[in-house]
């Protein structure tokens, strides 16, 4: 008899995601549904507004990927209007992007995903002396690895457990048979969880230097609103740049001495998860970190391309402007298109909600009907996975030296073949590997900025096309980036200096999409197929695979009134 496991909401993510998994007689997932349970109406809100303001609205889709929507949005408008940003603006955008990626990936590993592998309560059984020895073995250069340090961590953790309120460690399946780490490894992970929690608030100060604040730093169509005067007091000066340099150094230390060693240590205890959660085998990346302008795709540090059927021998070309490549379906989504259409390229896209699902609260959704507020994007008709695994595989398959170096080193350390990357654990590992690259590239981009400033160039914006009087009567453009969670693109249609249409296809729309008209599952759904479950009432295995994608449903399904009014207000007392 089929057992239906419902996880709603999936926690430790941004936004509202519901997963329904149908177990077969052997206790494995035979079918799965991914449902975004809130509607995102940003496209409706933007209609009729000034294109130069779009980034400020788009950036507030989410408070996690706090900068990537602004970047995609300004690039979108610049592409439509034919604006080329100055070199300093390009470098600063790269710095902002890489800062976000490093912070986001470290947070994901320790605070959103590690608890799927680390049994917090088991850490209370750990010997602090043995834990210190393990920590020194895992990362000999780590600063904190004494028995006294781990003893203090254990004492703090015991207070949480004894109180009956685990606080930030609440809501998990402690003691689940799928946990395999020894107590000492669990205690080490708890300590590093807390260290990363303190550090993550520091690195985003880079955003406050170049963007004025975080979350939601400032951007500008035509460049960056980042005045630079090395000897001044009210602009970005040498003192602030030195602070940025120090923050990058700290970030590299966190990645090299905590994140990567912990990732490899945890992964070594779960070799079976290199055979679980592979999913589609199709991967897509738009690419980013331009070195010679956004139009020179060949110069990107993150290369652009697509891989089908796990074929690493061929990276296919990708063009977001090609209507024959990217389309969004609504066969199983709560939307309607005019004229009975079921698939549209985003430049022609429509965002017309039409809910036909059951009245909440409901027990289950109907997999044969519409069941999600997420649309179903497809690339040349194929369901695609986007995100760190896609980027790492495309970089590796493209022959980029940086990618080949980190991938080869990780596979060697874990003694696993390259095929192991097609898995839940491979997805988790890929995020760490690209963090290694991102933190080094962050340092490189900072050095590029300093070199450019020393050469006498302090220009950060081109405002020659700022006034609408310089624009064509009608224009279309697109702007892309690689958000921490994957390929992100905005498409705009400008008419009479106003936004006539605006469409956003975000990473979690690609990954969390429902089935299409051909019955092809989205990446989440596909990755769950075949997953073994020890206890349907404690679906830890489902969370492992879903969390490996780092879902962010706020971007994919976001609610706000059309006129900008608040829909609800909550008073929190502490």
* Catalytic site positions: 14, 62, 65, 69, 485, 508, 552, 555
200 in Cβ contact with 207 (< 8 Å):
no
User: Tokens 């507030």 belong to which residue?
Assistant: 60
Cα–Cα distance for residue pair 509/525, rounded to 1 Å: 12
- Give Cβ neighbours of residue 293 (< 8 Å, ≥ 6 apart): 84, 90, 299
In three-state secondary structure terms, 492 is: strand
- Give Cβ neighbours of residue 159 (< 8 Å, ≥ 6 apart): none
Instruction: Give the length of the chain.
Output: 574
Cα–Cα distance for residue pair 247/242, rounded to 1 Å: 9
Q: φ and ψ at 490, to 5 degrees?
A: -115, 140
Helix, strand, coil percentages for the chain (3-state, nearest 5): 45, 15, 40
Mind spelling out the 3-state secondary structure of 503-564? EEECHHHHHHCCCCCCCCCCHHHHHHCCCECCCCCCCHHHHHHHHHCCCEHHHHCCCCCCCC
Helices (H), 164-235: 183-203, 205-211
73 in Cβ contact with 220 (< 8 Å):
no
| DSSP secondary structure string for all residues of 106-139 | HHIIIIIIGGGT--TGGGGG--HHHHHHHHHHH-
């Amino acid at each position: 008899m089929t057992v239906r496991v419902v996880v709603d909401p999936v926690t430790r993510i941004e936004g509202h995601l519901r997963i329904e998994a149908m177990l077969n007689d052997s206790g494995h997932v035979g079918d799965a549904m991914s449902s975004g349970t809130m509607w995102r109406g940003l496209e409706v809100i933007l209609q009729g507004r000034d294109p130069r303001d779009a980034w400020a609205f788009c950036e507030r889709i989410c408070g996690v990927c706090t900068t990537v929507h602004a970047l995609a949005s300004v690039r979108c408008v610049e592409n439509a209007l034919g604006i080329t940003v100055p070199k300093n603006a390009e470098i600063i955008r790269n710095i902002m992007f890489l800062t976000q990626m490093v912070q986001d990936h470290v947070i994901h590993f320790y605070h959103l995903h590690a608890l799927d592998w680390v049994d917090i309560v088991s850490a209370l059984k750990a010997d602090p002396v043995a834990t210190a020895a393990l920590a020194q073995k895992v990362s000999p250069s780590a600063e904190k690895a004494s028995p006294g340090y781990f003893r203090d961590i254990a004492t703090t953790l015991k207070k949480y457990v004894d109180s009956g309120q685990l606080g930030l460690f609440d809501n998990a399946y402690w003691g689940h048979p799928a946990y395999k780490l020894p107590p000492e490894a669990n205690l080490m992970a708890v300590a590093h969880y807390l260290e990363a929690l303190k550090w993550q608030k520091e690195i985003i100060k880079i955003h406050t230097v170049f963007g004025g604040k975080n979350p939601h730093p400032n951007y500008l169509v035509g460049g960056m609103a980042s005045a630079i005067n090395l000897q001044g007091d009210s602009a970005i000066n040498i003192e602030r740049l030195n602070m940025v340099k120090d923050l990058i150094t700290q970030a590299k230390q966190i990645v090299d001495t905590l994140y990567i060693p912990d990732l490899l240590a945890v992964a070594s205890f779960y070799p079976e998860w290199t055979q679980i959660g592979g999913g589609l085998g199709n991967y897509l990346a738009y690419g980013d970190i331009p070195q010679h302008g956004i139009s020179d795709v060949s110069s990107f540090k993150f290369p652009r391309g697509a891989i089908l059927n796990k074929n690493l021998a061929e990276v296919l070309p990708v063009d977001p402007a090609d209507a024959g490549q990217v389309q969004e379906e609504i066969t199983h989504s709560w939307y309607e298109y005019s004229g009975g259409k079921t698939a549209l390229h985003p430049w022609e896209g429509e965002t017309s909600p039409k809910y036909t699902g059951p009245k909440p609260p409901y027990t289950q959704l109907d997999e044969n009907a519409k069941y999600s507020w997420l649309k179903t994007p497809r690339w040349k008709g194929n369901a695609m996975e986007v995100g760190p695994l896609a980027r790492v595989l495309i970089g590796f398959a493209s022959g980029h030296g940086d990618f080949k170096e980190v991938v080869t080193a990780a596979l060697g350390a874990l003694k696993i073949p390259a095929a192991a990357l097609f898995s839940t654990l491979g997805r988790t590992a890929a995020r760490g590997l690209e963090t290694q690259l991102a933190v080094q590239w962050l340092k490189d981009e900072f050095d590029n900025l300093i070199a450019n400033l020393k050469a006498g160039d302090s220009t950060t914006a081109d405002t020659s096309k700022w006034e609408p009087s310089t624009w064509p009567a009608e224009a279309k453009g697109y702007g892309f980036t690689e958000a921490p969670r994957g390929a992100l693109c905005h498409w705009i249609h400008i008419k009479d200096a106003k936004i006539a249409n605006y469409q956003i296809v975000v990473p979690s729309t690609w990954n969390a999409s429902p089935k299409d008209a051909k019955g092809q599952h989205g990446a989440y759904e596909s990755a769950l197929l075949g997953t073994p479950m020890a206890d349907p009432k404690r679906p830890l295995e489902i969370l492992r695979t879903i969390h490996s994608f780092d879902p962010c449903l706020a971007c994919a399904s976001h609610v706000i009134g059309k006129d900008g009014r608040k829909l609800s207000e909550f008073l929190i007392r502490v």
